[in-house]
Structure 1
Amino acid sequence: MNSNSSINADRIGADIDALSAITEPGRPWTRRAFTPMFLEGRKWLEHALHEAGAVTQIDAAGNLIGVVPGKHPELGSIMVGSHSDTVPDGGRFDGIAGVVAGLEVARALRDQGMVLDHTLEIVDFLAEEVSIFGVSCIGSRGMSGTRPAEWLARTGDGLTLEQGISQVGGKPHGQAQRDDIRAFLELHIEQGPVLQDEELDVGVVTAIAGITRIEIIVEGRADHAGTTPMTLRKDALTTAAWIALGVEELGKALASGEHHFAATVGEFEMTPNAANVVPARVRILIDARAEQRDDMERFVDELDRGVAAISAKTGVPVSPLRIVSDNNPTPGDAMLLDVLDAACETAGARHRRMASGAGHDTAWMARITKAAMIFVPCVDGRSHSPDEFATTQDIALGAAVLLDAVVALDKKLQETD
């Protein structure tokens, strides 16, 4: 790390240890949104933000925000942060690293006696992970004005989402959408092995992949497994297996290009699922992710043709593809990407540009402001697992990049205006 940086790695390590230790007994590292453990973690964060010189508040969407006023608040805010909730039984660094890095940026500026022209905000978004209500990115969708109104009636663990937001201090029917955030930056562990394998320090995220989920129903015919001749069967499973192999083959072909692409048969349901019955029906749910929209459209088109060809070959009917959900890719703001590249050079971080195959709060913040992300390495790419790990030094170097980028943006945003 550049010796001029005031980022303190020991503070970062202590913060991550303290916050991750707030977990359900016997379940490291579990601190799901809307639980008592989550609220305890929020109390810890509030105290830490106060210590860093920030004034804290819970916005209408239930996000915890630490505010460090700038010299010219009328310029708006530069926001940094991530989320402190976890998936069950995993997530010591996922989200936490970004919140702690934002906290350390505030402390580093305080230690240098530096006050930005813009207001600095450090955010802990509510429920980035899939919550007890079955939906994710609740806080960032609220801040960006993209949370569907009908979500408030969703239920989980005896609560409605409306009640859950109220319990964390939000105002579910209040105005949460912001128009004064000039830029948003999020540090996150990579959740993949690329940076580790290439011995790099930072990934500057070019885009967050769009996610499309596609349902396919294969309608065969149930028959006796012992008496029905092999040549007379309408086996839904064998046809579905051909389709699953086709998804893998097509996904690999698209992934061999310049841009990120991945396709997975993530759900597979067979009925009647009995040893002595020829499978009658199979439901497949495909998760496809693309950095470039053209790749996704090509995938859906070629999948449609391929499924029709397989059905014709096997003689087993297959329903038309049903698009269950479809989100476009979110590119990082071009100006912010250049600022982050320059900040990597200043901090002495070996870096590359790369796409994110996972979803993040940044994708929703990009609806209302300039937004971008940086990745730091995680060991063996493991994430959403108790084995998830990132070194303090790697996170500290990422925080140094974040700090340099914030300082540079404080001036550059005024120049671009």
Structure 2
Amino acid sequence: MSAKPRNLSPRNLSVSGPRIAADIDALARLTDPDRPWTRRAFTPRFLEGRTWVAEAMRRAGLETRIDAAGNLIGRRAGRDPAKGVIAIGSHSDTVPDGGRFDGIAGVVAGLEIARALADRGIALDHDFEVIDCLAEEVSIFGVSCIGSRAIAGVLPADWLDRIAADKTLRAGIAEVGGAPDRLAEAKREDIRAFLELHIEQGPVLEAERIDVGVVTAISGITRIEIEVDGRADHAGTTPMGRRADALVAASVIVGAVERLATERAARGEGHFAATVGEFRIEPNAANVVPSHARLLIDARAERRPAMDGFLHDISALAGEGVRGLPAPPRLRVVSDNPPTPSDPRLLAEIEAAADGLGISHRRMASGAGHDMAFFARVAPAAMVFVPCRDGRSHAPDEWAETDALALGTEVLLETVLRLDRAATGKDAAAEGAQT
């Protein structure tokens, strides 16, 4: 962790805080009027936002295109295209009633880096791209990270037939300008580094007064369904000691989830969190002892061994059953995605960039999913977090200060320059100043 005080002010950064703020505000105005801030993928409001982003890319000197998966890409040609692409990306869609910054800040950071390169007259050897990924948030089709999955070549073909609002995902991709029948063309093999800026969506950076988080990994997400069978009885006449109450048994499991997750987080096993976010009982009547309970656990781990241990402990609890039940609880792993570590070299370059700028930083894992997790399948990838007020996100009061966004963007700009210099053996900044 680096906690030395910053020696830069927003006035002497290469990037412009006011331009970043203006971009954020412009996109914030493109929202469903009675639901700030809502601009969901595959809706007319999203297309309005996409039109604005494409125009902003062109004003920043980028050539724009939409790939087969519906990703909007702005490209600044380098001096040696054979060296491949350095890309900055995130997403411009939002959750319903969501925030102004989640995803949007990453796209705007890419735009501002393109402008800063032009302002300083820097010509990179690599091509430089800003990528607005399609539908990172859970879309109307019930799936997320559609664009970045396609870039990684792992978008399931049967997803194209998913239906919502009387149209298929295939039709939705076509409506945003993609070519779903040529989806394989979206897979990338030319990206040499992918970087993403994002608000933290948590309280750590703000509480510790640290400028940026250097993201070590995207936590793996495992969802576990547990069903508990009891026996329905009259709530007023059945003696307390003779009941098989499914809800009481399920509550024991909920308490165990909290305890086991807290213990793992405290043991230094990296970021770990588990939540019972869905819960249902039957028959759900005031005068009937519950006969059935279903709960869904969302567990997230930075390191796979921690998740394996949690699964073992929860399975053992289910296998032992709960006293008084006619049968042990039934456990099923619904989905199980491993963690995605960031590229070690990119982490080192980001930290060196921050140190050189006097910007404080610390390493941290992301408990939320991001497009970076799929880019990491085809290229070295890493992320930078910036503080957000009270850690709030996916809510109307989500907020990040302009100065914080500018510092994070400056770190990524310097990282881009470092990566380009490392690959070329030249001082791109010095050479660019002469072009």
Q: What TM-score comes out, normalization by structure 2 length? A: 0.94
Question: Aligned runs of 1:235-250 on 2, under 5 Å?
Answer: 235-250=245-260
- Divergent runs of 4+, >6 A: none
2:78 alignment partner, SS class: coil
Q: Contact 2:14 / 2:116 at 8 angstroms: preserved in 1?
A: yes
2:112 alignment partner, SS class: helix
1:46 to 51, 54, 57: 54
Counterpart check, 1:136 vs 2:147:
no
Aligned to 1:91: 99
Question: Aligned runs of 1:17-36 on 2, under 5 Å?
Answer: 17-36=25-44
Output the CA distance in 1 between the equivalents of 2:245 and 2:44: 49
1:277 to 264, 269, 288: 288
Output the CA distance in 2 between the equivalents of 1:312 and 1:33: 44
1:218 alignment partner, SS class: strand
Unaligned stretches of 5+ residues in structure 1: none
Give RMSD over aligned pairs: 1.1
Counterpart check, 1:13 vs 2:1:
no
Q: Contact 1:5 / 1:347 at 8 angstroms: preserved in 2?
A: no
Output the CA distance in 1 between the equivalents of 2:82 and 2:13: 28
Q: Contact 1:217 / 1:318 at 8 angstroms: preserved in 2?
A: no
Question: Aligned runs of 1:4-403 on 2, under 5 Å?
Answer: 5-174=13-182, 175-258=185-268, 259-309=270-320, 311-403=321-413
Output the CA distance in 2 between the equivalents of 1:298 and 1:414: 45
Change in CA separation of 1:108 and 1:293 when aligned onto 2, cut-off 3 Å: same
AA paired with 1:406?
Answer: V
2:130 alignment partner, SS class: strand
2:180 alignment partner, SS class: coil
1:252-288 per-residue CA deviation (whole Å, 9 max, x = no partner) reads: 0001022100000010011110001110101110000
Output the CA distance in 1 between the equivalents of 2:101 and 2:327: 46
Instruction: Report how far residue 347 of structure 1 moved.
Output: 2.3
Output the CA distance in 1 between the equivalents of 2:198 and 2:322: 46
AA paired with 1:105?
Answer: I
Output the CA distance in 2 between the equivalents of 1:54 and 1:188: 22
1:170 alignment partner, SS class: coil
Q: Contact 2:232 / 2:289 at 8 angstroms: preserved in 1?
A: yes
**More divergent stretch after superposition (332-341 vs 169-178):** 169-178
Percent of aligned pairs with the same amino acid: 60
Instruction: Report how far residue 230 of structure 1 moved.
Output: 1.2
Output the CA distance in 2 between the equivalents of 1:373 and 1:62: 23
**More divergent stretch after superposition (342-351 vs 326-335):** 342-351
Q: Contact 2:205 / 2:213 at 8 angstroms: preserved in 1?
A: yes
1:140-196 per-residue CA deviation (whole Å, 9 max, x = no partner) reads: 001110100100000111110000000000011211101001110000000000000
2:186 alignment partner, SS class: coil
Q: Contact 2:228 / 2:330 at 8 angstroms: preserved in 1?
A: no
Instruction: Report how far residue 362 of structure 1 moved.
Output: 0.2
2:323 alignment partner, SS class: helix
Output the CA distance in 2 between the equivalents of 1:317 and 1:178: 50
Instruction: Report how far residue 307 of structure 1 moved.
Output: 2.6
1:52-78 per-residue CA deviation (whole Å, 9 max, x = no partner) reads: 000000000100000000000111100
AA paired with 1:177?
Answer: K
Output the CA distance in 1 between the equivalents of 2:174 and 2:143: 17
Paired residues, what number? 414
AA paired with 1:287?
Answer: D
Change in CA separation of 1:305 and 1:121 when aligned onto 2, cut-off 3 Å: same
1:206 alignment partner, SS class: strand
Instruction: Report how far residue 308 of structure 1 moved.
Output: 2.9
1:197 alignment partner, SS class: helix
Q: Contact 2:229 / 2:291 at 8 angstroms: preserved in 1?
A: yes
AA paired with 2:305?
Answer: D
Instruction: Report how far residue 414 of structure 1 moved.
Output: 4.6
Unaligned stretches of 5+ residues in structure 2: 1-7, 426-435
2:382 alignment partner, SS class: strand
Output the CA distance in 2 between the equivalents of 1:367 and 1:314: 48
Instruction: Report how far residue 314 of structure 1 moved.
Output: 3.4
Q: Contact 1:117 / 1:410 at 8 angstroms: preserved in 2?
A: yes
Output the CA distance in 2 between the equivalents of 1:276 and 1:360: 45
Instruction: Report how far residue 111 of structure 1 moved.
Output: 0.3
Instruction: Report how far residue 26 of structure 1 moved.
Output: 1.2
Output the CA distance in 2 between the equivalents of 1:404 and 1:188: 17
Q: Contact 1:22 / 1:40 at 8 angstroms: preserved in 2?
A: yes
Q: Contact 1:207 / 1:291 at 8 angstroms: preserved in 2?
A: yes
Q: Contact 1:207 / 1:355 at 8 angstroms: preserved in 2?
A: yes
**More divergent stretch after superposition (311-320 vs 381-390):** 311-320
